[in-house]
Structure 1
């Protein structure tokens, strides 16, 4: 699969964009006209740089307002086109993108559009160029790829074909199945973009909110399958207009874009010949959390919370300033190595996988940066890589029910005695900067092959917290990815949630051990009494212990929170029935309480 990307997708100058796209592993680029116009380099210099970098120049775009006009206007269209075809000769680009007319169109007649595109193609052919006609979703008259194809078919010119853009097709709800009726040789170019499900005018949606494949709600593997079955054999190119991507680091965004195409190729297993692509090694989803790591200059306050919750100190690492606590299968590592002046933060998450080598190879192919930590002879060297926010991800080969081998490197602690009131890690909540949130969603879903739940926004005193859950199919691994509002005046805390069969008993024992849970206002329990018939005694018990409650048609959910230490707090949860949520109605209460404590 040949890959390409429009220079409009990323920040920087045109030469910076070319270098970043080459470093990220793209085969070619689309030159977005404003990038060339603003470049001090000549077209010949741009072509030479692309050649040195191993990039092909696949498309020049856009050429606007070409068809559906009166004859006087079309004269100026031909004048403009001749200049662009000469420019393309200097660049060495064969194909130009011609958008359906959204501005100057006055004639709603397929025959007129076909005639004008045929005459335009005659001029293109004289210059050795060709036209890819694209139906814009907001075109004045032509806004459907099927009509664009009818016009191209009627024009019947060898230098004229169609460009298929997933956004223009899927945003309008057009059925992509008819793509298979277009001969593959007449599909001159394919552009790919994902997008979130939004209700807004399609032009604003397109200009500001496109995403890379895998980050939105479009069925791009299905779209790609239709194009493959039509016989298309050209580049698969990204055209993503997004305010965030055009502000962030050029190389990092290019790598994010390339990762998305690798993921999409892997998902699009149907080819015209029926063979799968297998772009990535097949891996099983993580089947459990292995550990979570808190890193700080001083982890004693977090360790005190663990002691109050009933965790057992398992010992200190034989060669590092790292301590291990566990309860049931829940393991939390407290790391003070290379953490001078660092407040407690979630630094790493470990996962138990079926084949760590295969999972690490998948991560490498998706350009996840490798992580290396010092290990002495005889110590376990876990495969590791870095997530977009800097969280380190570790992979361990650990069969179900068997404790990971690295635990044996900790000495001087105890083993758990009584039956576990905490059985494992239920979920981990990770905070992300606004500019890397979409990248993080794609990262965890592609690298770890996790599925996506519906995203949601949660009200906080400083604005809306955007949240997206990624999880394994059996929900054994759940990650809640959050991004704080821009007005948030501080670090959005992250947390580990532990699973328990009896949250009330854990809360009671923790209180007796000195734990001060996050305070919950009386107004919350008054509202809880109105929402659910819990009974006076049970409601009083929940209020006394600071336990929150939720229920839906599948089951019930009880949970409580500890205070925040640095940027970390802990949660204990109990799921009843088939409840799969996270107590979302209670999240604003938690965020408000944390906000008040931060202010104090």
Structure 2
């Protein structure tokens, strides 16, 4: 495949833009308010999050709805699909499907994971999407989960084959705190081994830079196991390798967010079942150009140099620089997100036309 040697601004203007429904607004903002803000800001798609389906089901049915009350959840997903149609929003993906791969054969956890997958397929049918995000497993709190690459691949192959029966796809994402695939290269190797036409990548500016360049547990906020020049050299080489090795058609989307450098380094211990980078991801992710410090333009350029011009999706978890919370107007926030999405396009383009 011929890689794109030049990133033209005109090609970036055609990129479809999405927003993750879980990453905008306050608890008091209804899903309808958030979706209206997203569409009014000019986004044309959303990543629909499972917690939003659950919340909407409780509002719709005026009762508590459990995470496995799938009849009620599917009803809510169907209504969300109708709402998105009215707002001219495509439900680009359902997310986040987590802790799926790597459970021991015959274990109740593995049975639950595959049962959950079938129910999530029902949710996909109900809301009208064909793409499922699967996050690379974090086994920090689950010693039973294997990091054996062959077992991981087999589980994903089995899931892919189940999804293929519905013409559905998997977008596999590296989570920077994953115990078996924290980097873009690790998930790309897995996707290659899975070797299914309906399995591709969900790449992410935060997850990529957060695994290979930054470290929230250090004073500098950078990986300190190597010197700064060596870190920069490795980072540059990694981005060049990404740009030259991944076929554009195997990238399904690029998620966009930055990260605050924690004012006090995050302790190197598990908290709320999350490793330090997981804690960082949960609360310290602003939109681009809003106080973060990651080299997200490097990631964006590398992805674009593959020739990819598919979905860009804003996924922000911004609880402020200290991670304790942030108040904002949902409509203005969505507009700022769009402005900063356009700013990143201008900054990474090689040409102004």
Contact 1:221 1:264 in 2 (8 A): yes
Aligned equivalent of 2:239, options 168, 176, 189: 176
Question: Where do 1:453-472 residues align within 5 Å?
Answer: none
Tell me by how many angstroms 1:66 deviates. Answer: 1.2
Structure 1 residue 81, shift from structure 2 partner: 0.4
Per the alignment, in what secondary structure is the counterpart of residue 91 of structure 2?
A: strand
Deviation at 1:237, TM superposition (A): 0.5
Retained in 2: the 8 A contact 1:62–1:98?
Answer: yes
Where do 5+ consecutive residues of structure 1 fail to align? 271-275, 279-600
Specify the structure having the higher radius of gyration (Cα).
Answer: 1
Preserved CA contact (<8 Å) 1:9 1:246: no
CA distance in 2, matches of 1:115, 1:161: 15
**CA displacement 1:24-43 (0-9 Å, x = unmatched):** 11111111110111103522
More deviation in 258-267 or 170-179?
170-179
In structure 2, the partner of 1:269 is 349
Q: Deviations over 1:397-449 (max 9, x none)?
A: xxxxxxxxxxxxxxxxxxxxxxxxxxxxxxxxxxxxxxxxxxxxxxxxxxxxx
The structure in which a higher percent of residues are strand is 1
Map of 1:301-380 to 2, 5 A cutoff?
A: none
Alignment match, 1:442: none
2:31 counterpart residue number: 14
Q: Give 1:164 deviation, angstroms.
A: 0.7
Matched, 1:81 2:120: no
Residues 13, 35 of structure 1: 8 Å contact kept = no
- How far did 1:268 drift? 1.3
Once superposed, what is the RMSD of the aligned Cα atoms? 1.7
Q: Secondary structure at the match of 2:318?
A: coil
Does residue 263 of structure 2 align to residue 227 of structure 1? Answer: no
Distance 1:142 1:265, change over 3 A: same
Of Structure 1 and Structure 2, the greater helix share is in 2
Distance in 1, Cα, partners of 2:95 & 2:199: 15
Q: Give the alignment partner of residue 241 of structure 1, picking from 309, 312, 317.
A: 317
Asked if the contact 2:297–2:348 (Cα under 8 Å) also holds between the matched residues in 1, the reply is yes
Where 1:71 maps in the other structure, the secondary structure is coil
Give the distance between the partners of 1:194 and 1:31, measured in 2 at CA: 20
Give CA-to-partner distance per residue, 1:222-246, whole Å, 9 cap, x none. Answer: 2111111112222100111112586
* Native 8 Å contact 1:169 1:176 kept in 2: no
Query: How far did 1:189 drift?
Result: 1.8
2:51 to 25, 31, 34: 34
What whole-Å deviation, never above 9, does each CA across 1:446-501 have from its counterpart, x for those lacking one?
A: xxxxxxxxxxxxxxxxxxxxxxxxxxxxxxxxxxxxxxxxxxxxxxxxxxxxxxxx
Tell me what 1:190 maps to.
254
- 1:122-133 to structure 2, matched below 5 A, reads 122-133=161-172
The within-5 A match list for 1:516-535 is: none
Structure 1 residue 277: Cα displacement: 5.4
Equivalent residue in structure 2 for 1:260, among 340, 343, 349: 340
Residue in structure 2 matching 1:50, options 35, 59, 84:
84
C-alpha separation between the residues in 2 aligned to 1:169 and 1:223?
7
The aligned counterpart of 1:71 is 105
Match of 1:365 in 2: none
Name the SS for the 1:38 alignment partner: helix
Matched, 1:62 2:96: yes
Alignment check: 8 A CA contact 2:39 2:88 kept = yes
Matches of 1:21 and 1:50, distance apart in 2: 11
Q: Aligned to 1:70, what secondary structure does the other structure show?
A: coil
- 3-state SS of the aligned residue for 2:260? coil
Who is 1:115 aligned against? Answer: 154
- The gaps in structure 2 that reach 5 residues or longer are 1-14, 61-75, 214-234, 267-275
Name 1:206's counterpart in structure 2: 281
Q: Are the counterparts in 2 of residues 268 and 277 from structure 1 also a CA contact under 8 Å? A: no
Per the alignment, do residues 277 and 84 of structure 1 end up closer, same or farther by CA in structure 2, a change over 3 Å counting?
farther
Distance 2:253 2:132 in 1: 10
**Equivalence for 1:514:** none
* TM-score calculated relative to the size of structure 1: 0.44
Higher relative contact order (CA 8 A, sep 6+): 2
Aligned length in residues:
273
> Which one of 168, 172, 189 corresponds to residue 150 of structure 1?
189
Q: Rate the CA distance shift 1:98–1:277 in 2: closer, same or farther, 3 A.
A: farther
* SS at structure 2 position matched to 1:115: helix
What is the CA distance between 1:149 and its match in structure 2?
A: 0.9
